[in-house]
Amino acid sequence: MDDIQRGRAETLRALHDGTLVLPNAWDAASAAVIALAGAAAIATTSGGVAWSAGRPDGHGLTRAEMAELVGRIAGAVDVPVTADIEGGYGPAPRDVAETVTAVIAAGAVGINLEDSQAPGGPLFDAQAQAERVAAARAAATEAGLPELWINIRTDVYLFGIGEPEGRLADVLARAEAYAAAGADSLFVPGLVDLDTLAELVKESPLPVNVMVWPGAPTVAELVAVGVRRVSVGTATAQAAYAVAHRAAVELLEQGTYESLAGGLDFGVLNNAVTR
């Protein structure tokens, strides 16, 4: 493990002392322009990374393919990169360990790990997922990066698991188990209600990460209730691909090009990926 990667891991840890805002990248160029915009760290989005390779989200890539693409992103920027490893590319703790080893070798200094077994559920029970978290922590230590930041994602709210009145208690019980196993933060996509978030922040043993989208509370509102990490998932990639689709439709159907207005300057983009 080189000093540069360890230093980036320590930087990522320090950034969680406040509220870390993470625009999500899906390829090397998107990571470079996000860093150019001033992002202190880069998070990958599994959906965007998979789409960039012509594959669907949800383990559409192999472990090796995902790690290679994460490596391109990490190689394009000088800031910490945290990798979305979905469900760990296999259900067993040893699968998670192999994936963590692969993304550390690719240059990542943090991970997101889901507790869902498939899109829509079911979820691993808390103890089974805790064993997977522990395997991730052990693999990071074995790889020479014990500082790896583990952002553990629970999909209780995203997939509407259980009765609504019991979801907060379920998330808190999971947070306790995941914290004991070595997780560093708790990611709860699908939850943006400020009152519920305030209660979760107050009771959780782990700092809370929220995923936002147009219409969700602002970063300032989330900071006010104690959220420590904010990310956008696939939203930026979806917006970028929407521009490509609109421009193509306009060009093919109308023969005009107005959808292409406002693009990033060629020289700025080219310089961003010149290393």
The overall average pLDDT reported for the chain is 97
Give me the phi and psi of 82, to 5 degrees please. -115, 130
8 A C-beta contact, residue 168 and residue 195: no
Domain ranges of the chain: 3-233
Tell how far CA 66 is from the center of its chain: 13
Helix (H) or strand (E) holding 248: helix 235-254
The C-alpha angle 185, 186, 191, rounded to 5 degrees, equals: 145
pLDDT at 21: 98
Tens of pLDDT, residue by residue over 199-257, are: 999 999 999 999 999 999 999 999 999 999 999 999 999 999 999 999 999 999 999 99
Q: What is the CATH number of domain 3-233?
A: 3.20.20.60
Identify the pLDDT of residue 275.
Answer: 81
Q: Is the pLDDT of residue 1 over 80?
A: no
- Residue 244 structure tokens: 């490509």
- Residues of the chain with pLDDT > 70, as a percent, come to 100
Distance CA 11, CA 59 (A): 29
The predicted-structure confidence for 141-200, as pLDDT tens digits, reads as follows: 999 999 999 999 999 999 999 999 999 999 999 999 999 999 999 999 999 999 999 999
**E strand or H helix that includes residue 266:** helix 266-272
